[in-house]
């Protein structure tokens, strides 16, 4: 209390003193004094290289918005993958409070909480618009909070890549039989779907490792994100076919992870600033990806003569059936997975009924 009294008294004296000078903008000065007095510093660890297009830009933009809106009272320092901790240690880092925030993708934590996978993307599931609607007005975010609550983490939607591409292939996929033995980089539920059809999913490869893995034939195929991120990796130089659509990730949501204790310690206005900034960035990343994808796709086709090839309908049908089986199997193993699955499937069916009359009817 003594310290607070002293601060407060000093602040008062400072303000009185500043009035003795001819003030160009007294209100601004008042704020500046308040700001330096109350500055809180947070660290945010990401699972991406710093400033990677799309994924890597979102946390930087969040930090910028928070600093502007809080007038410097909350400053978030962003660290890329490996700077403070490995890419896949972000969840633990936020849980333990090593960092106050993280930016990552929920399916990475399937080992800790299988239900986390619903908050990235489900094969043949919700697209970006449907996902955001379910999260924010359909009960999704409340389930996500329930899944992360035991870890002391508050999840916030942290952007979306939009619908992804089917990936880069060095073997043509003419029928479901061609998936047998296919070594493909593919994460999350999608990898289990591929496995069910006889494929060999490779889960652990990072984006920068894909080029050489395809080049050396260590893998036959790889999906990363979509043109915006795939073009800079040069995957078109080491793969023959660019398949579509991205059945495995129809709208991949990213996440901001917030240490619950650090969040609760913030005053209410800074809590609101963090949440609203995340909400704005959640949309901004999708906007960035949409424009980035369309430009990069045009470049891939017109400058690099990439062959963009559709999966045959019978392959799509087989993958879809396998997805339903995988989801049922996973639900039997984990009650929370089953709880989220039931909510997700009910919403998926309802929104697809509506999109039948709207988006799907006006291509």
Residues numbered 147 to 176 that lie near a copy of itself (CB under 8 A) are: 162-165
Of 174, 177, 276, 317, which lies in the binding site for a copy of itself, with binding defined by CB under 8 A? 276
Q: Which range of residues in 22-30, 45-53, 96-104, 172-180 is near a copy of itself by CB under 8 A?
A: 22-30
Please tell me whether residue 124 binds a copy of itself under the rule CB under 8 A. yes
Cα angle 180, 187, 159 (rounded to 5 degrees) comes to 145
Single residue of 27, 111, 305, 333 touching a copy of itself by CB under 8 A:
27
Task: Report the SS3 class of residue 54.
Answer: coil
φ, ψ for residue 146, nearest 5 deg: -65, -40
142 is in an annotated binding site: no
Residue 18 in contact with a copy of itself, rule: CB under 8 A: yes
Q: Name which of 174 and 272 has its Cβ closer to a copy of itself.
A: 272
Size of the site for a copy of itself (CB under 8 A): 90
Distant-in-sequence, close-in-space partners of 272: CB < 8 Å, separation ≥ 6: none
305 sits near a copy of itself (criterion: CB under 8 A) = no
**Residue 71: left if φ>0, alpha if ψ -120 to 50, beta else—which one?**
left
> Of 55, 58, 69, 315, which one interacts with a copy of itself (CB under 8 A)?
69
Whose Cβ is closer to a copy of itself: residue 85's or residue 101's? 101
Query: Which of 19, 177, 317, 332 is close enough to bind a copy of itself by CB under 8 A?
Result: 19
When asked if residue 71 is in the footprint of a copy of itself (CB under 8 A), the reply is yes
Stretch that binds a copy of itself, among 62-70, 99-107, 143-151, 253-261 (CB under 8 A): 62-70
The answer on whether 323 is annotated among ligand-binding residues is no
Is residue 265 involved in binding a copy of itself (CB under 8 A)?
A: no
Determine whether the annotation assigns residue 223 to a binding site: yes
Nearer to a copy of itself, 8 or 174 (CB): 8
| Cβ 176 to a copy of itself shortest distance, Å | 17
Place of tokens 């003030």: 23
**102 touches a copy of itself (CB under 8 A):** no
Q: Which residues contact 220 (CB under 8 A, 6 or more apart)?
A: 169, 170, 171, 182, 183, 184
Q: Say whether 146 counts as a known binding-site residue.
A: no
Task: Name beta bridge partners: 77.
Answer: 43
Site for a copy of itself in 166-225 (CB under 8 A): none
Q: Under the criterion CB under 8 A, does residue 255 sit at the interface with a copy of itself?
A: no
DSSP string of 163-209? Answer: S---EEESS---SGGGGTT-EEE--HHHHHHHHHTT-EEE----GGG
Task: Say whether residue 41 binds a copy of itself (CB under 8 A).
Answer: no
The one among 102, 188, 207, 292 contacting a copy of itself by CB under 8 A: 292
Torsion of CA 327, 332, 333, 336, to 10 degrees: 80
What is the distance between the alpha carbons of residues 62 and 68, in angstroms, rounded to a whole number?
10
In angstroms, rounded to a whole number, what is the distance separating the alpha carbons of residues 351 and 347? 6
Kindly state the smallest distance separating residue 218's Cβ from a copy of itself, in Å.
27
Q: In sequence order, what are the beta bridge partners of 244?
A: 310
Q: 209 a known binding residue?
A: no
Q: Does 87 bind a copy of itself (CB under 8 A)?
A: no
| No. of helices (H) and no. of strands (E), the chain | 13, 11
232 binding a copy of itself? (CB under 8 A): no
DSSP percent split of the chain into helix, strand, coil, nearest 5: 55, 15, 30
Residues within the annotated binding site for substrate? 164, 185, 223, 249
């Amino acid at each position: 209390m003594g310290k607070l009294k002293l601060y407060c008294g000093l602040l008062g004296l400072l303000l009185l003193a500043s009035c003795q000078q001819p003030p160009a903008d007294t209100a601004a000065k008042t704020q500046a004094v308040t700001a330096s007095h109350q500055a809180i510093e947070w660290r945010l660890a990401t699972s991406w290289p710093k400033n990677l297009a799309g994924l890597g830009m979102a946390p930087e933009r969040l930090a910028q918005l928070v600093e502007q809106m809080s007038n410097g009272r909350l400053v978030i320092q962003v660290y890329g993958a490996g700077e403070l901790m490995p890419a896949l240690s972000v969840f633990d880092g936020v849980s333990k409070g090593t960092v106050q925030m993280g930016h990552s993708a929920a399916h990475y934590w399937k080992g800790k909480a299988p239900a986390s996978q619903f908050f990235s993307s489900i094969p043949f599931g919700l697209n970006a618009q449907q996902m955001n609607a379910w999260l924010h007005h359909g009960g999704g975010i409340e389930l996500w909070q329930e899944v992360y609550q035991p870890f002391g983490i508050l999840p916030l939607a942290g952007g979306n890549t939009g619908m992804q591409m089917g990936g880069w292939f060095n073997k043509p996929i003419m029928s479901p039989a061609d998936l047998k033995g296919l070594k493909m980089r593919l994460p999350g539920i999608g990898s289990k779907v591929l496995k069910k059809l006889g494929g060999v999913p490779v889960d652990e490869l990072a984006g920068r490792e894909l080029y050489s893995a395809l080049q050396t034939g260590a893998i036959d195929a790889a999906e990363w994100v979509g043109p915006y991120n795939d073009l800079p990796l040069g995957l078109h130089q080491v793969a023959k076919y660019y398949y579509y659509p991205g059945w495995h990730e129809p709208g991949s949501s990213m996440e901001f992870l917030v240490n619950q204790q650090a969040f609760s310690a913030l005053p209410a206005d800074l809590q609101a600033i963090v949440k609203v900034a995340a909400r704005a960035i959640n949309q901004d990343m999708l906007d960035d990806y949409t424009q980035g994808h369309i430009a990069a796709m045009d470049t891939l086709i017109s400058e690099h003569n990439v062959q963009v090839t559709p999966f045959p309908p019978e392959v799509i049908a087989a993958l879809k059936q396998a997805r339903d089986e995988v989801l049922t199997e996973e639900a039997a193993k984990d009650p929370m997975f089953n709880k989220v699955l039931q909510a997700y499937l009910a919403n998926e069916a309802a929104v697809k009924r509506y999109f039948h009359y709207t988006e799907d009817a006006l291509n």
